[in-house]
Amino acid sequence: MFDLRSIVAGVRALFRKRQVEREMDEELRGYLEAAAKEKIRSGMSQEEALRSVRVDMGSMDAVKEEIRSVGWESTLETIWRDLRFGFRVLRRSPGFTAVAALTLALGVGGTAVVFSMLDAVLLRPLPYPHSERLFRLFPLEGKRKRGVEQASYADFRDWQWQSRTFESLAAYQGSSMNLTGTAEPERLEGSTITPGFFATLGVGPVLGREFRSDDTESVAIVSYALWQRRFGGDAGIIGKPIDLEGREYTVVGVLPPQVRFRSMPWAAPVSEIFVPVVPVPARNWHSVRVVGRLAAGVSKEQALAEMNGIAARLAQAYPDSERAQGVTFEPLAQYVVSGADQTVWLLLGAVAFVLLIACANVANLLLSQGAAREREMAIRTAVGASRGRILRQLLTESLLLAGSGGAIGAALAYWAIPLVVRIAPPFSSLFSRLEDAHLRLNWTVLVFSALLSVLSSVLFGVLPAWKATRPAQSSLAASRVGRTRGGLIALEVALSLVLLVGAGLMMKSLVRLLDIDVGFRTEHLLTMDVAANSSTPEKQAAFFDHVLQRLAATPAVISAAAVTDLPLTRYFKRDGFQIPGPHPVQGTANYNTVSPDYFRAMGIPLLNGRGLQISDSAKSPLVGVINRSMASKYWPNENPVGKTIEAIDVVAVPAPEGFRMQIKPRLLEIVGIVADARQYALEEPPDPELFIPYDQWPAQEMRLVLRVAAEPSSLIPRVEKEIWRVDPDQPVTDIKTMDEWVAREAAGRRFILLLIGAFASIAAALAAVGIYGVASYGMRQRTHEIGVRMALGARGQQVVWLILRQNLTWLVIGMVAGLASAIALTRLLASYLYSVRPTDPATFALIMLVELAIAGLASFIPARRATKVDPMVALRYE
């Protein structure tokens, strides 16, 4: 029926409506006249003939309506009429409309925000062709055959040579590099990669080429962003030299802009510079991450079988040094999301509750409206509107409401999405995905919001509309409506209770987390990352000596120190040591290289013996300071001060193919014990830790720690200037106060708390509005009864109780249902909680009280108003 002719005729009927109608009138009139004339001719009087013709024809309007309804355009017109009417109805009660639209806007807007996160985290494919064939490979290690991140370079080469199921395999490792020589020195985030790395991912450079197996070690590939930023998009960059880590490299390629590779998706910024992996042939030295592209048509299971066969053969061939006992895979797309999906689903669940509450609220509002419009519906039914017609009209109104709510919601999302990106915890795969997706309001989200609005309009609109078409004449029907409204309230109470409990648990976790005694004073500490350009250990130590001396002499700096593994930076190096003796004891400890002033700068108290001194130099006997945990674990009943241990030093020795790692035992004397301080992360209790002086164990990259007497960030320019006086080419990166590091530790939980807290607050507010609405409606309905009771001497208290009692049952049902759901659902939060059980009774009790207070207040206010009713007015009411 939708052929061109019909469309043209329909459009004409719509736009030249007056003419079409006129012609129809004329045609029908002509028919009547002709028919009457015919009757007159057969002997009727004119009057009789006209009457007879009219009787034959029936209602003229009905005929016209029949004719109109032939075309598709009439459906359009009916909808338009419904819309106009609906718009008038909504405008007639602006208060109701505003509350309903805003309620929906909060539900739809919130859901759109979370959905946009879901879209960025889970729905966007990786920017590589056929990315479903890309996998990360992990060697399986230890008794429990755990998959570990890194493989040995030797294993990687063997896998690469022997595998047939993988089209190609490549390895990479994260690596930061100092870029010097051109403008201001800069520390760049980068990766070392094997030849064919980008071919494995399936992307080619926009300029130049990627690494080949016959390349020297001194070639580099730059990211598009770096090329634009540092080299002004110079098309002649290929073949030009750049200085990295004090060495000259030749640029051979520039990557396309869509490649945003991160060596660790949950922690590392986007790599901007790529240099070849330096091979380490030792089988027990795990130094690379492996990625592979499955050959077309090969299943994951086939590849797994083949790779495990290869691993088994390698384990047999090198029984002494091979650590890998098998191989496991994870799709690259899943690897880059790692954990963020859980967060996103959790938030989506939370916001779905808000949306449901919003829908329940609007349904409740519409039900009270429906009751007020009973008369209107009765009249419309009486003049012949069918039930379907009324239903359609009411659904149109809901749709109109949903449309305006959805539009406001989308505007809300437009404003809130950048906000969410800003508060997203940095150094998380969630943040990486949001950043890589350039998250903002997009078409996917808009379409989703529109669908959501329509869906919710059906959800909240159908029920009241259905009720409205069945006039509640009997008290039975009235009580049915009452039950529906009560059920909706109970639902709102239950859902908001679950969200409030979730927010309460997160809040308690965060408070507990920030309450942790880290073991040092975090305030007034400025920290920064400095990787020396000098290549020999002696020069590195001299460089840091020099820098620390200058900084210590800077005004407002109380003490300056250097450390390789700063607490709470989520990087710690763990190694074995041995306590020599007739029965040697093996132990493990975090090795932390520090400058002598480290403990003073941090405020870590010395418990026993002495601290490290400047006199502990490269030429004096090796010494170390241990923390209390190490002392009590390995020397439970003696004083470790004065004992000697055999520590392990790993040195890279040049080998035919790259480097060989050599383990060198070194004896050192424990000279002191310090108090415990947090290490890897805020929530992890301290492990045994061994502090060794940096003159004896030089490091290339250290973090400087300055205890200052001023606002720490105000000192940054002066500190940088002092460092550049020692080496003008020295990049200074990651300048942060210690408090910022602490905040970063809490950022993930704070993010979830902020979102769930926001959702819970909205939910509680909406539920309060819903309860208030039902209570005041109940009061209005019973004004007459209240008047009678008060006239007969009922006291205010009794009247209040009368109104309160109505809601009470439903509130209690809601609380109980909410409690049960919360007990069942807070388990999903468990991995985000810190030192709080998901069913923490104190939190549950407190939140129940809060919910009760909110619900009680929302019912009490209208009930209170009931007592102000003047009996005379009330009796005259109606």
The contact set with another protein (CB under 8 A) reads: 1, 5-6, 9, 23-24, 26-28, 30-31, 33-35, 38, 56-58, 62-63, 66-67, 69-71
Q: Which is nearer to another protein, 5 or 438 (CB)?
A: 5
Q: Which is nearer to another protein, 19 or 536 (CB)?
A: 19
Contact present, 682 and 705 (Cβ < 8 Å): no
d(CA 872, CA 285): 93
Residue with smaller CB distance to another protein, 57 or 735: 57
Closer to another protein by CB, 6 or 162: give it: 6
Q: How far is the CB of 31 from another protein (least distance, A)?
A: 5
Nearer of residues 6 and 160 to another protein, judged by Cβ: 6
Tell me the closest approach of the beta carbon of residue 21 to another protein, in angstroms.
Answer: 13
Smallest gap from residue 73 Cβ to another protein (A): 11
Q: Could you tell me the two tokens for 266?
A: 């949950």
- Residue 58 Cβ, how far from another protein at the closest point, in Å? 6
Nearer to another protein, 76 or 98 (CB): 76
Q: Which is nearer to another protein, 33 or 711 (CB)?
A: 33
Phi, psi of 290 (to 5 degrees): -115, 135
Cβ count near 353 (within 10 Å): 25
Smallest distance, another protein to C-beta of residue 71, A? 7
Q: Which two three-digit tokens encode residue 181? A: 């020589």
Residue 574 β-bridge partners: 590
Please tell me what DSSP assigns to residue 564.
S
- Please state, in angstroms and rounded to a whole number, the distance separating the CA atoms of residues 240 and 456: 60
Task: Tell me the one-letter amino acid at 534.
Answer: S
- Nearby residues of 639 by Cβ (< 8 Å), 6 or more positions away: 608
Alpha helices in 338-442 (DSSP H): 340-372, 374-382, 387-423, 429-436
Closest by Cα among 55, 833, 786 to 505: 833
The tally of CA atoms less than 13 A away on the side-chain side of residue 825 is 23
Which ranges constitute the DSSP H helices of 520-609? 537-552, 598-602
Q: What is the amino acid identity at position 815?
A: M
CB atoms near residue 377 (< 10 Å): 19
Nearest to 113 by CA among 453, 457, 418: 418
Shortest distance in whole angstroms from residue 24 CB to another protein: 8
Q: How many CB atoms lie within 10 A of CB 508?
A: 19
Q: Which is nearer to another protein, 28 or 808 (CB)?
A: 28
Q: How far is the CB of 48 from another protein (least distance, A)?
A: 18
Minimum CB separation of residue 384 from another protein in Å reads: 16
**Nearest distance from residue 66's CB to another protein, in Å?**
5
HEC secondary structure over 784-841: HHHHHHHHCCCCHHHHHHHHHHHHHHHHHHHHHHHHHHHHHHHHHHHHHCCCCCCCCH
Q: Give min distance, CB of 8 to another protein, in A.
A: 10
Q: Which residue has the tokens 């309160």?
A: 804
Token pair belonging to 169: 């395999």
Report the residue number, 35 or 606, with the smaller CB distance to another protein. 35
Q: Is the CB of 65 or the CB of 711 nearer to another protein? A: 65
Please state the three-class secondary structure of 34-52 as a single string: HHHHHHHHCCCCHHHHHHH
Cα dihedral 115→120→126→132 (10° resolution): -20
Residue closer to another protein by CB (options 66, 538) is 66
Q: How far is CA 858 from the centre of its chain?
A: 33
Give the DSSP H or E segment for 783.
helix 783-791
- Residue 735 sits at φ, ψ, to 5 deg, of -75, 115
CB-nearer residue toward another protein: 38 or 669: 38
Q: What angle do CA 195, 201, 207 make, to 5 degrees?
A: 65
Distance CA 269, CA 533 (A): 22
Closest to 559 measured CA to CA, from 574, 548, 572: 548
Please report how close the Cβ of residue 54 comes to another protein at its closest, in angstroms.
11
Tokens of 433: 């995905």
Q: How far is the CB of 57 from another protein (least distance, A)?
A: 5
Chain center to CA of 593: 36
Residue 435 neighbours by CB distance under 10 Å? 17
Instruction: Give the residue ranges of DSSP H helices in 119-180.
Output: 153-162
H-helix segments, 515-557: 537-552
> What is the closest distance, in whole angstroms, from the C-beta atom of residue 374 to another protein in the complex?
34
Min CB(43)–another protein separation in Å:
17
Of 34 and 681, which has the nearer Cβ to another protein? 34
Taking the complex as a whole, the smallest distance from the CB of residue 9 to another protein amounts, in Å, to: 6
Given a contact cutoff of 8 angstroms between Cβ atoms, the answer to whether 763 and 496 are in contact is yes
- The residue (of 72 and 635) whose beta carbon lies closer to another protein is 72
The nearer residue to another protein, 69 or 386, going by C-beta atoms, is 69
Question: How is residue 105 written in tokens?
Answer: 């806007």
Which stretches of 602-741 are assigned E, i.e. beta strand? 606-609, 623-627, 644-654, 659-674, 689-693, 701-708, 732-737
What is the smallest separation between the CB atom of 50 and another protein, expressed in angstroms? 14
To another protein, the closest distance from the beta carbon of 17 in angstroms equals 14
Residue 12: HSE in the Cβ half-sphere, 13 Å Cα cutoff: 9
Locus of tokens 């074995």: 576
By C-beta, is 9 or 794 nearer to another protein?
9
Q: Which is nearer to another protein, 34 or 872 (CB)?
A: 34
Cβ distance to another protein smaller for residue 30 or 580: 30
Q: Please, what is the minimum distance in Å from the beta carbon of residue 83 to another protein?
A: 25
Instruction: Measure the CA–CA gap between 749 and 108, rounded to whole angstroms.
Output: 24
